[in-house]
Structure 1
Amino acid sequence: LNLLRQHHELCDIILRVGDVKIHAHKVVLASISPYFQAMFTGNLSEKENSEVEFQCIAEAALQAIVEYAYTGTVLISQDTVESLLPAANLLQIKLVVKECCAFLESQLDPGNCIGISRFAETYGCHDLYLAANKYICQNFEDVCQTEEFFELTHSELDEIISNDCLNVVTEETVFYALESWIKYDVQERQKYLAQLLHCVRLPLLSVKFLTRLYEANHLIRDDHTCKHLLNEALKYHFMPEHRLSHQTMLMTRPRCAPKVLCAVGGKAGLFACLESYRKHENSVECWDPDTNTWTSLERMFKSRSTLGVVVLAGELYALGGYDGQSYLRTVEKYIPKVKEWQPVAPMNKTRSCFAAAVLDGMIYAIGGYGPAHMNSYRKHENSVECWDPDTNTWTSLERMFKSRSTLGVVVLAGELYALGGYDGQSYLRTVEKYIPKVKEWQPVAPMNKTRSCFAAAVLDGMIYAIGGYGPAHMNSVERYDPSKNSWETVASMADKRINFGIGVMLGFIFVVGGHNGVSHLSSIERYDPHQNQWTVCRPMKEPRTGRGMENSDIL
């Protein structure tokens, strides 16, 4: 049939585009296209005609479709796809449309994804439209620097930055993207600032950033609605007693970017009582709760157990710890874009069994202990230091009231809380908080139980203290309400745990590994605050204790 077509033999239809004539057989065209079938078998005038003119299909696209009708193959390239897909869509040739969409999806990059999204919406290609929008969200930090992004309409930008699945390390990225879009044509776009600022989750920005924003950005300072939004965001930080009422609002809902739990370092082995037989790890594993799978990352320079782990600006930091021979003060960070670890400035003190946290763009190292001096016992620290990424330096801060190792530390409402631990003589239940504005520690209500080697986390404006030792292994959990300055007991874990990892993700608290007093654990449990219930998840590849744990989107 194709040879007959090529030689114009027994052809009964001519498709004309401009001056170009394409000879074909009606039955062949009708077999691959409902459009042609209706044209040649229905009551349309073309049924009896020997020539049909097409004014809205490109000549090359129609040639390719006729070729497909006879050979079952179609050549799709960047030069042809923009004319071929509309033609195949009009002629209702689903397989060609599907192949064009698959090709465009394979070509997605930060510079063309917005255009492909528009193209897909125009021609009703739903799956391609979803794929392009998903790509925009997952690669937003690169997309927001492209020409296509700056040419978005205000309604298109509203839809993108309102998306819960926007993949950003911090909400600052969203604000800066909006600011750049406004400044691209400030006279025309300034009128949209207040509307679009509603799409930025301002309460998720730090107090430091919000304050600087008010002082430095005259576009926001001069707009009454924008100032109101900033004030509401600051209330979220400074009035935690009202925080739960904010929680249902879009402005305070965290972005649902793909995140993983990173388990860093730790101890492996079956010899729980024999320190010399334990292997101290430099391995890093990441757990994806969506797929319930573990992935290994590049190893650290140093083996570390009882270390501190934090995420700052999308990079994973491993601080201090113990390598089996020495207590450490070294610090290294994992950079996802280049998939490697790099050293940063070491802490002022060696620290093991300490806590680390991020507050206002700075990393804090709190408490812990270092090596014993001469014949003395280990010195349990009440010292605190913080690292400034801009200067790559550590600065000593006001000491805590109590020396604490194996403590828990969290950040809530712009303040740093230090909970429980061990001071070298007693297990502690006392709690104190550091207020950066006045640079001092203040006591808060003590926990119900003494806890050491436990984990703490913040969820929905509440502090959770989980498991630990004091002086027996525990699976109990208690929760602190800052508006009442009081603790209450909540559901217990299935396993007793000390020296385990913890992460908050997707509205749940995850606990990972640890030791139950008999053996190392590979188990993982998840706490649902709304159900007040723990659920057992898929275990780690191997048992770990003394691991650092943090949630991140580094994969």
Structure 2
Amino acid sequence: MDVTNDEHSKDVLRFLNELRERSELTDVVLEVEGRSFPCHRAVLASCSPYFRGMFTSGYAEVKQEKISIQDVSEVAMATILDYAYTGCLQTEPDQFQAVMSAARLLQLDFVCTKTAEYMKGHLDESNCVDVLMYADMLGDHILLESSGRYIASRFNQVALQPSFLQLSLSLLQSLVDRDDLITRSEDDVVQAAIRWIEFDQEKRLQHLPVLCRSFRRSFISSETRAELYSKCQSTDCKLVYSNITSGRLGQMRIEMQLILREDFFNTYFHQFAPCYDPSRGRSYTISLPGNLDGFSMVATADDELYLAGRSCTRDGMMMDFQNVLFQYNHLLNSWESRCAMITPRIRCGLVYLKGYIYAIGGDSENETAERYDPSCDVWTPIPRIPHPMPSEFCAVTLEDRIYVICWKGCYSFSATENKWSKAADMLEPPLRPQAVTYRGCIYCMNWGGPSSTCVEMYNPKNGVWKRSGNGMSFAFDVAILMPNMGSLYLLTVLSKDDPKVDLYQYKEETDSWMKPESPDIIVAPIIPWLEARLRIDCLVARMIPKCLGDPNGHVDIDGHSGDGEESDNTFADSSRGLVSDNSTSNSMNVLLNQGNSEVDHVND
């Protein structure tokens, strides 16, 4: 007979753990920070090479009944012993570093791996510097690069954290050497280093010439250079800069069009959205969070993207819906969870105004609204909309107001006065409005409405709507208003079976809509996404091409796209939204900083 009891090992562990809890048949006591842990030597030795060596060698601990363990916290030891006796690793987020340190000392590879994975997966602006310093102390190169990459992706925000000022010179240098810093200007990098110096100026000012070798002189403003010179302690001091002639990754933003559509029968459109750079005729993709159901997206003034809506997961026959808010990480081409909205909303009006994000409508009655503060990750309610809106509406911002447009009428919210008021109604009540702001006015069209319609323009100076283009009408099944590179375009598609596509450019000086001479560069890549009766929006945002995905769905190992053209996707694996290892390029930057430099004298 040859049979196996699959429950045997579980039963043995469970019984041993019960013996430990009752201190029965234990043969050693671990003393950790004044607390005693009765244990079984055989269990400890079976899962820890550290204890196995201790108990099988000629050390004094072999015969000792009590053994003092140093450099391990009481909570970490309790967690480790629970794992040893149950095979289950459970700990609180604020204890992961202590548990990982204990696991490294006791040589528990599984615990080390899982705690490191957890820390890599839960990096944020408040903890990433601490994780970086911890990984450096442990010599964990994978965790070091992961935390360094995350800091690069949120550099300006992380540089304001108190922990940033605790960095060692070598770690600070490794950060400011990075080519992939997501920052708007080289001055931001310099100012972060200056804050680090001023935190302990007496000791750190001597490091200024060393740090200067990481600054890219060509991109530093004259005012910031003067500030650096003023900090030099001697008049003959030389500040040597890097002469790298390319900007950081965050400075390589290009205005793009994001085509957002909801197709409930095609999961592909829930995973990616196309980004298009009309200036170069290049297409990319941006990843989307999974399981979305009715979402809205907005771009802020500093190029941050936020997505709000509802996620949907299935548990057996039941559907579980959750209210969600995400912020886009440009470097990682991924979305990070933020504080969920107070009220569940589907396809709300999501707008940005003066440092805040507003979610308008989308609730069960389409009459509530709330405001999000990115600086503290908090939502607060704002006054209700005076009258419930229909499900089809749009919201835009102009000056200090939010305008909500629907067929029932138009309302505006004053961010200064924190109140709603009635606004002028459109001449033709829109069934499915789409609106954009352009040069101080609102332009709105009736998307999916009558077969022939006009684009109406609202001027806040006189509070009046009028038909733009001298009343010119357009026939379409699908149409999108698209601000692009300082111009306003209208794209129309008529008949989905044999589509007729037209592009019009608005001429403000003559109040007319004209067909541009070369429309293909804007129109061609968008057409496949335009199908009648699907909800489609166009968002203009400044994106980083090298961080985006390949519309062909893959990038080969040589960094070329699937169609044989050279790809911009140096930093991103487009098929998975993961960032490739760029440590080689960072090492090259260090060499360039050392070998190629420009010198400034204080007395220039």
TM-score, reference length from structure 2: 0.43
The answer to which structure, 1 or 2, has the higher relative contact order (CA under 8 A, 6+ apart) is 2
TM-score, reference length from structure 1: 0.47
